[in-house]
Structure 1
């Protein structure tokens, strides 16, 4: 396993743990069941991403697909564009639908920061699907875009999506920890002082 893969596994593990903590705290604080389930599923997705890095599953699958194309008597390996192009278009359409879904869902959650944090994590983990699909399709132009240069676009996108999930989980946890404090407003403090003073006067 390369140093880059090892670093990715470490980051995935950290984000997975944060998501699990978010799920546990959501359960403790009586958050909606869908919040608990969503954070648990998002954390599970990072287990899959870690297994992919450790076992180099994505590379093996891509090589298997290439070998299948070479062995296909009806389709020349050099003509794989005929198969890759429709798949590429499908992935782009799915990505655009995801953007539309994200925009619609985001506009409906203006009054709840917790839901927005969860939604941001859900969108980011779903965005891994078209990214993984593009890497598996392995279109020449796409590969050049994703893997060329000392700092690869693939690393940037992967890190960005992972960071969004991790940051969203941390902000969700922070929001849960602040929730009990919201009940202790200045008005409540003032009432507490009056009640304490009244008890003191009665004792005197």
Structure 2
């Protein structure tokens, strides 16, 4: 970082914004294999938060790669940078008093830990969207597993690139066992119990 860059303190603080919004601000970090249901679950949780009057927004992995991260590929280095950037954007959302839901495979524990360290303790909620590889591969909503098995896609998580299962996530939701409604209810119950909403 250049030595002539200085952080400028803001007059309206995160606490002011949280008070006006009527809820705490935090990130729900949905992680799991492609096809596990991260985006589907996050969008339904977002819809529920919206109906409750909360200020929330979804940062979807594919959507972010259409803009902010469109120059990044899927090498390990690019995946690390992808998650670093998203973590910084999520931090801005949290500072603005909002709830941000992120849906990224984010396969490496070290990257998820680095993002967690950007936040205060109660502001980062890791949700492991658990689903057996065979179920994800059977769902294959984007046809990516089929392409990876044919060798058309390299470094595909779960096939020829590892996914490191979270060691101590705040929530584990197995989408091969839970209905979507039950999964959403589990997340909302957790947020209420933690007095975040």
TM-score (norm 1): 0.27
Higher Cα radius of gyration: 1
Q: Which has the higher strand share?
A: 2
Q: Which has the higher helix share?
A: 1
TM-score (norm 2): 0.28
